[in-house]
């Protein structure tokens, strides 16, 4: 049995969970999220906890058992606490400026890169003198936060020699030595 699928999900106060046929709706202080579930997994809500059961031990059903439990747990955390990712823009002349739902990045290309984000995301950029700019992405949707952060990082991935590029805050880079000095 799936270890993740077996464990129950507790519903914190202020979060409302509804199941309408195969659609789960989670509503909280940060917003509302919906997720369609497969019919092979059933969801039971009792006494502030949610448990998931599957109809058979088929590999596909076992995989979906853990998947839908994790998705619903992420939705509950998202609408109650929210998710946040921070990216660091490392490099000489690299800049990040956020205004509303737009993020303008200067990443060493011949032109600035402008990205428009959906209204569910909150984007901010902080630049301090002598430090790399930090871009922060916040939302109640974990998938949307991760996708937006991955999109920004893909514009200029950190290179292994000097570490220049866009990286997650706290990410450990694998560095290479470069050329050895001539003898």
- pLDDT tens digits, residue range 36-55? 999 999 999 999 899 999 99
Given a cut of 70, is residue 78 above it in pLDDT? yes
Could you tell me if 83 and 33 are in contact, meaning their C-beta atoms sit under 8 angstroms apart?
Answer: no
Given a cut of 60, is residue 129 above it in pLDDT? yes
Q: What is the pLDDT of residue 12?
A: 93
Pairing between strand 134-139 and 102-106? unpaired
What's the average model confidence in pLDDT over 135-140?
96
What's the average model confidence in pLDDT over 8-14?
92
Distances (CA, A) of 30 to 20, 26, 53, 78, 143: 21, 11, 28, 7, 15
Chain centroid to Cα 24, Å, comes to 20
Q: Is 43 strand, coil or helix?
A: strand
- pLDDT tens digits, residue range 148-169? 999 999 999 999 998 899 999 9
Q: What is the pLDDT of residue 80?
A: 94
Could you tell me if 61 and 40 are in contact, meaning their C-beta atoms sit under 8 angstroms apart?
Answer: yes
Which tops the pLDDT comparison, 64 or 2? 64
Given a cut of 90, is residue 179 above it in pLDDT? no
- State both tokens at 128: 């301090």
Could you tell me the pLDDT band of residue 1, with boundaries at 50, 70 and 90? very low
Q: What is the dihedral of CA 163, 167, 171, 177, to 10 degrees?
A: -10
The Cα–Cα gap between 143 and 146 comes to 5
- pLDDT tens digits, residue range 104-124? 999 999 999 999 999 999 999
**Percent of the chain residues topping a pLDDT of 70:** 97
Q: Is 144 strand, coil or helix?
A: helix
Instruction: Say whether pTM exceeds 0.85.
Output: yes
Give Cβ neighbours of residue 66 (< 8 Å, ≥ 6 apart): 2, 3, 4, 5
Q: What is the pLDDT of residue 5?
A: 86
Q: What is the pLDDT of residue 32?
A: 94
Rounded to a whole number of angstroms, the CA Rg of the chain reads 21
Q: List, in order of start, the domains of the chain with CATH numbers.
A: 3-80 (3.90.930.12), 83-168 (3.90.930.12)
Q: What is the pLDDT of residue 111?
A: 95
Q: Count of alpha carbons within 13 Å of 173, Cβ hemisphere only?
A: 18
Distances (CA, A) of 39 to 42, 69, 180: 7, 14, 60
What's the average model confidence in pLDDT over 48-63?
91
Given a cut of 80, is residue 183 above it in pLDDT? no
């Amino acid at each position: 049995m799936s270890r993740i699928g077996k464990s129950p999900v507790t519903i914190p106060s202020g979060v409302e969970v509804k199941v309408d046929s195969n659609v789960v709706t989670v509503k909280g202080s940060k917003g509302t999220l919906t997720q369609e579930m497969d019919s092979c997994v059933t969801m039971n809500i009792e006494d502030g906890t949610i448990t998931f059961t599957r109809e058979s031990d088929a590999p596909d059903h076992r995989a979906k058992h853990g998947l839908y439990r994790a998705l619903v747990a992420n939705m509950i955390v998202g609408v109650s606490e929210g998710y946040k990712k921070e990216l660091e823009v490392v490099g000489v002349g690299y800049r990040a400026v956020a205004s509303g739902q737009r993020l303008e990045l200067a990443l060493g290309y011949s032109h600035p890169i402008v990205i428009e984000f959906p209204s569910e995301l909150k984007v901010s950029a902080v630049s301090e003198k002598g430090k790399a700019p930090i871009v922060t992405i916040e939302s109640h949707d974990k998938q949307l936060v991760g996708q937006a952060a991955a999109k920004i990082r893909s514009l200029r991935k950190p290179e292994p020699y000097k570490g220049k590029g866009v990286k997650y805050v706290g990410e450990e880079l694998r560095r290479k030595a470069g050329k050895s000095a001539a003898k």
